Structure 1
Amino acid sequence: MRVTAERDRCVGSGQCALLSPEVFDQDDDGLVVVLREEPAEELRGEVFQAADLCPARSIRVHG
């Protein structure tokens, strides 16, 4: 699994960082930062949940 984010679409809701803090964070402007592009398998569920709940649909999960 590989995770990417389209920062130009991010609205800074922070749901991703709350749901999966090992994979996502927010910069000083509140925009998504992917901390781990290839997270461990045990984080799969929370990564997919973060992507599903992103209001801007800026998170992509590949594979």
Structure 2
Amino acid sequence: MKHILFLTWKDIKHPRSGGAEVVMLEYAKRLVGDGHKVTWFASNFSGAKDFENIEGIDIYRKY
């Protein structure tokens, strides 16, 4: 098992997310399905939680 880190401006729940975030989510879900730990760091947005686990992916939002 590897620990994989994604660093992006937006995550899948960001109001301005688009195709890149959809692709990143699919990559992350497949990696989790293969037994890896995935952490995704993204910027925060109004009303967002600082931490959320979506389909086994730990998502942290800051700044």
TM-score range (shorter-chain normalised) is: under 0.3
- Structure with greater proportional helix content: 1
Compute the TM-score of the two structures, normalised by the length of structure 2: 0.26
Structure with larger Rg: 2
- Structure with greater proportional strand content: 2
**Which of structures 1 and 2 has the larger relative contact order (alpha carbons within 8 angstroms, sep 6+)?**
1
